[in-house]
Structure 1
Amino acid sequence: MHELSDIELLQALKNSQEAAFNEIYGRYWYQLLVAVMKTVRSESDAEDIVQELFESLWKRRSELQVEGALPAYLFSSARYMSIRYITRHLTRSNYLKRLADHFEGTALPTIESGLYVQELEQQIDAAIAEMPHKMREVFQLSRKHHLSHREIAEKMQISEETVKKQVYYALKLIRSRIGDIPVGLAFYLTTLFWK
């Protein structure tokens, strides 16, 4: 399969030839990992994202619609998956900073991206401030201090199930707050983050 072009590999992949998939993986895995690491700044997170990308590629092999070059398709998918990963983890330490860093040099002007990140931080802070005391404490132990659900349950002398529910409702509250950002930015970010 080494001598096949990307177009030929893609066709073989669509025909469920595992050797074609393995060749694409071998050709592009490391380059994609490096590209994703530039966005998420974590090797383990980057490995997860690239793995998810290739799993998706294999699962959707028969319905793939790749317009243009295969590398462009893979790198574009990796970029979107990286940004989507960051948006899912906005409440974890440093992810807002990573999001701002990613916007530098992209089509979104620096002032606008800075305002967006600042407003997003305000929305998250406001949502945390609105949380009932126990929910806020659980959430901060989970996201700020990175304790596991079990560790939080032991520390607060509550059940693990209660911890899970509190974190779930805290994230739900934050997501509802993030939805209140200006319509123009929301529209732009939605088209940017989600395929």
Structure 2
Amino acid sequence: MFNDFEEIFRRYYPAVLRFVMSLVKSRHDAEDIAQEVFSALWPKRDIWMDNPDIDRYIYRTARYMTIDHLRQKSLKSTFSIDGVAYSDYIDSLMDDYDALDPLI
């Protein structure tokens, strides 16, 4: 059915973006996820080349990537220490750490 990846992208990207945005409620996050969907699809030529069910594959991939994004976002908000996100806390600890300290 499809021989050109650009054709697939043009046809499905707007709908995938709307689908993802309806779930994540953030245009920026939805654009990132939609781009990831098509970036993951691009190297899999055997999947998108002449596949009449490519839409099913694309939407399934979008759904899984969106769920993964929401899980990661939930975990980040769950782990906080004194109102500071856990990842920010770890980053602040690493900023104070000097690799030479144990040697000195």
Calculate the TM-score normalised by the size of structure 2. 0.71
Q: Choose from 133, 136, 141 the match for 2:81.
A: 136
Going from structure 1 to structure 2, the CA distance change for 1:161 and 1:50 (only over 3 Å counts) comes to farther
Report deviation, 1:81.
1.0
Q: Displacement, 1:32?
A: 0.3
Structure 2 counterpart of 1:40, one-letter code? V
Aligned-residue offset at 1:59: 1.7
1:88–1:74 distance in 2 versus 1, CA, 3 Å? same
**Gapped runs of 5+ residues in structure 2?**
98-104
In the TM superposition, structure 1's runs of 4+ consecutive aligned residues that sit over 4 Å from their partners are 65-68
Aligned residues: 94
Does 1 or 2 have the higher relative contact order (CA < 8 Å, sep 6+)? Answer: 2
Q: CA RMSD in A?
A: 3.0
Distance 1:49 1:22, change over 3 A: same
Partner of 1:192: none
SS at match of 1:28: helix
The Cα offsets for residues 50-85 of structure 1, whole Å up to 9 and x where unpaired, read as 1011011012223x2898622222112111110111
Per the alignment, residue 160 of structure 1 pairs with 95
Correspondence list, 1:1-195, <5 A: 8-9=1-2, 12=3, 20-62=4-46, 64=47, 69-93=53-77, 136-137=81-82, 140-142=83-85, 149=91, 153=92, 160=95
Q: Distance in 1 between matches of 2:6 and 2:52?
A: 21
Q: Matched residues, percent identical?
A: 30
Find the residue that maps to 1:59 and give its secondary structure.
coil
Deviation at 1:22, TM superposition (A): 0.6
State the secondary structure of the residue aligned to 2:75.
Answer: coil
